[in-house]
């Protein structure tokens, strides 16, 4: 290993002389210190290449707003489901409750966490695995497979049946107290096991803990409805649905979506994840009896092809991405050509790593889930621009919509969820039958969509 070298006065003088030698550096300094990096690096011609008109497009209801919570994966999932209700009943708009799955996800994640603690009693407290489990036991983030598990077990309900509360609109306070409780619960379970408490007694103690989590959640979010009445009027104000449902009945009869037909495809071009194989992530999930996540890893072009096929059939597409990269958030533009940070600094910053290297070196992972609802195609039928429904309210972007360039898709989209009928026979057989390769809990493909 080479001897560590300090930064010397000569090093600083050299760097300063290099900076002052090019007037572009002074121009960049003045622009960035006045308005910030992205505003100074904004490329107007790139922005202009992001119109909000599309060759293929599905029409959604009014925008939803996750507010100060990390429920984007829930909003994206519910947006694909409410679209079906809006189309089936010819509604102006409709919204499913986002507080309802939040309640059950927190309860199930708490149970999942406590089961993982019981399963790792022999692991050292300061070891990487237990430390990882304790880092974020019940964060807001999630994956499509986790949402699928929730709706299969608990169903869904209209927003009116379980509206937002102060703690669902801003989850940080609830999450903080629940996390503290669960870490204390982990301590009690590990200490009880060390004292020789039997497995049956540990299970009974865990059950009591889950009951206390339930009490905390009801206090913060209200009690989930067991049954509710629904009356829907269409665009012409005609009553088209009037009935009483359980959440499970509402999902089965009104949403009418076979979630088991929908599969998660990822595109991770790293050496440890060969394309054409199935992967899961160790200890990632929420509903214990339903297992964890399941991905088929394919080249990015295949993710685009199946997404376009589903959009052609007038169905939106759930997708996960690293939203903060090359993003003009206020304008709702995800486009590598709309920002030129490297020109601003005069050397490679954004372009210093490729897609695989960013994953390997911790620079990129999936942070946000949204819905693809449109695409533009060139003369060869290849995508050029995608329409995105976000979950940050109508004031964001352009009436709540973003655009995503195809070049940005190549770099920062990591996952799409589509009906398995769009896969080839070989892809479908691999997804359904191959024993998944298990990734470490901290693998970037185990990241949860949770941007607030």
Task: List residues with catalytic annotation.
Answer: 72, 368, 390
Give the integer Cα–Cα distance in Å for 237 and 241.
11
- Residue 294 C-beta-side C-alpha neighbours within 13 Å: 16
Q: Which of 75, 71, 292 is nearest to 175 (CA)?
A: 71
* Phi and psi at residue 68, to the nearest 5°: -95, 60
Tokens, residue 348: 């490679």
- DSSP secondary structure of 161-195: GS---HHHHB-HHHHHHHHHHHHHHHHHHHHHHHT
Closest CA to 234 of 381, 94, 410, 74: 94
Determine the Cα–Cα distance for residues 300 and 319; give it in Å rounded to an integer: 12
Bridging pattern class, strands 368-377 and 383-389? antiparallel
Cα separations (Å) of 429 from 242, 256, 273, 278, 432? Answer: 42, 25, 18, 11, 5
Q: What are phi and psi of 229, to 5 degrees?
A: -95, 145
Q: Token pair of 232, please?
A: 């829907």
Strand bridging mode 383-389 / 437-439:
unpaired
Q: Which two tokens stand for residue 388?
A: 């995105």
Task: Find the distance separating the first CA and the last CA of the chain, reported in whole Å.
Answer: 42
Helix, strand, coil abundance in the chain, percent, nearest 5: 45, 20, 35
Cα separation, 303 vs 420, in Å, equals 12
Secondary structure (DSSP) of 98-135: SHHHHHHHHHHHHHHHHHHHHHTTTS-TTSHHHHHHHH
């Amino acid at each position: 290993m080479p001897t560590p070298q300090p930064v010397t006065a000569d090093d600083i003088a050299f760097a300063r002389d290099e900076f002052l030698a090019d007037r572009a550096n002074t121009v960049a300094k003045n622009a960035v210190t006045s308005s910030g990096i992205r505003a100074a690096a904004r490329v107007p011609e790139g922005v202009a290449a992001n119109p909000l008109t599309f060759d293929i497009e599905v029409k959604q209801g009014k925008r939803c707003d996750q507010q100060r919570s990390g429920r984007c994966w829930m909003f994206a999932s519910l947006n694909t489901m409410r679209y079906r209700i809006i189309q089936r009943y010819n509604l102006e708009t409709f919204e499913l409750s986002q507080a309802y799955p939040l309640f059950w996800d927190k309860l199930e994640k708490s149970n999942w966490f406590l089961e993982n603690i019981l399963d790792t009693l022999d692991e050292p407290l300061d070891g990487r695995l237990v430390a990882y489990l304790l880092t974020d036991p019940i964060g807001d983030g999630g994956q499509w497979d986790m949402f699928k598990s929730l709706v299969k077990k608990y169903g869904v309900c209209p927003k009116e049946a379980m509206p937002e509360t102060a703690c669902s609109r801003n989850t940080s306070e609830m999450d903080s107290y629940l996390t503290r409780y669960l870490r204390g619960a982990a301590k009690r379970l590990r200490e009880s096991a060390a004292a020789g408490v039997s497995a049956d007694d540990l299970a009974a103690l865990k059950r009591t803990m889950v009951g206390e989590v339930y009490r905390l959640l009801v206090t913060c979010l209200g009690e989930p409805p067991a049954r509710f009445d629904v009356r829907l009027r269409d665009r012409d104000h005609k009553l088209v649905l009037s009935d009483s449902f359980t959440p499970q009945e509402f999902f089965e009869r009104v949403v009418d979506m076979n979630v088991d037909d929908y599969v998660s495809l990822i595109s991770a071009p790293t050496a440890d994840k060969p394309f054409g194989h199935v992967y899961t992530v160790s200890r990632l999930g929420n509903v214990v009896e339903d297992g964890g996540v399941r991905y088929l890893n394919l080249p990015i072009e295949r993710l685009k092809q199946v997404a376009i096929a589903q959009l052609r059939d007038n169905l939106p597409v759930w997708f996960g991405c690293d939203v903060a990269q090359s993003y003009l958030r206020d304008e709702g533009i995800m486009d590598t050509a709309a920002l030129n940070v490297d020109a601003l600094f005069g050397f490679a910053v954004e372009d210093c790593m490729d897609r695989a290297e960013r994953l390997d070196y911790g620079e990129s992972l999936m942070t946000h889930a949204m819905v693809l609802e449109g695409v533009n195609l060139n003369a060869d039928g290849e995508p050029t621009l995608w329409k995105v429904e976000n979950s940050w309210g109508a004031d964001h972007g352009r009436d709540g919509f973003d655009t995503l360039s195809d070049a940005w898709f190549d770099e920062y989209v990591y996952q799409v969820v589509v009906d398995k009928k769009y896969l080839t026979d070989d892809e479908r057989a691999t997804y359904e039958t191959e024993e998944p390769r298990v990734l470490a809990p901290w693998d970037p493909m185990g990241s949860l969509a949770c941007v607030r």
